[in-house]
Structure 1
């Protein structure tokens, strides 16, 4: 029998969860899984047209009706994110979960050769936008009383590897952001904050970076969705400031709770 964690049915019932990067890959898999397990999901990506596929799949499944949130993570300033949070508050009153799945890097390359404008763009999408959106949404997360923020990490964000440039730097920064926010919110106990490293799965970004690689050598993104559900559900109550790696096993979830 597999020791992999399996979420309970309706573990996210009546929860309101925002997922970025929901047009494809891990973000889409997480958004669909959240809806399947009872959440009202706000699916976000750069363009609402890209989100139509995710929206349609959730709606056709009979899950709670999702909401679309096109959001330009590269060009959006602090005011845009504040206005976004205000609109979410008017519609949903609170957020029970915020999952950062959006990711971007244009290429692998040496630091010697890295284009400064690309560096700025990669840090903006992967780190600065995650900070701005989280900061803007904190009042909505506090209003939930038991909210969860999940930052999608990467192996190169926990141990830098050659040629990953700005992406590795951004993911390292994201881990620091997670730890800092977890420490600042721990005493109040209203928001738990963790990072999850999903491993290598089939995504458009992976295919672009490794065009000669057979993508089917890697598992589909749906295989890591359950680990996100654990962090978003009440089963992870009290778990904060942790650097976790998917797929989670039952033994790990028990240890975290103890």
Structure 2
């Protein structure tokens, strides 16, 4: 391939611009905030699951407490009813009186047992409610931290994207100075190796950092100035400049 020396030198400018684009893209992919956001999102998700479990437990205990209190009320009503019968003197038979007194005593014991159950459930429910509040607060705190990290990420993204736009515009201007066939080769090599062209400096390819053999140097010296030279080691385009040592 043939290309004017000036066009070949523009490849170095293009490679420099592309290196800036690569650095900006790498910075965008590896922002510390991205890892922080992922970690916080995972922690928020875990806490959200724990909050649901705690709320479910608290809800179950609330229903259990309501049922237990209903059982207490039912027994209390029966005790009050039987006590009124006893106090009214409506029961005159000694046998019936003894039976009624026994039932009242049994129901009173039953009421006491149920009230103990209610107290035990209330304690468990209080602990469950406290756990819901605690976990919800932790979840909300982490969610706020994640939102703050996302704001920082977006601010840096905007800064990087602005710079990317400026550098891409500059790249378009540089690429316009490179012949289509040479640009196509450069783009293909850049896709393969990350860098499509490198300077030949002091007999050394700055793309792969390999020093050329005497035979390769002599071959390049003998090549026409408009000949597009490739590094035998990395196959990138070698651009000759006054610093090439030829």
The bucket for the TM-score relative to the shorter chain is: under 0.3
Whose helix proportion is higher, 1 or 2? 2
Using the size of structure 2 for normalisation, the TM-score is 0.23
Q: Which has the higher contact order (CA 8 A, sep 6+)?
A: 2
Please identify the structure whose Cα radius of gyration is greater.
2
Whose strand proportion is higher, 1 or 2? 1
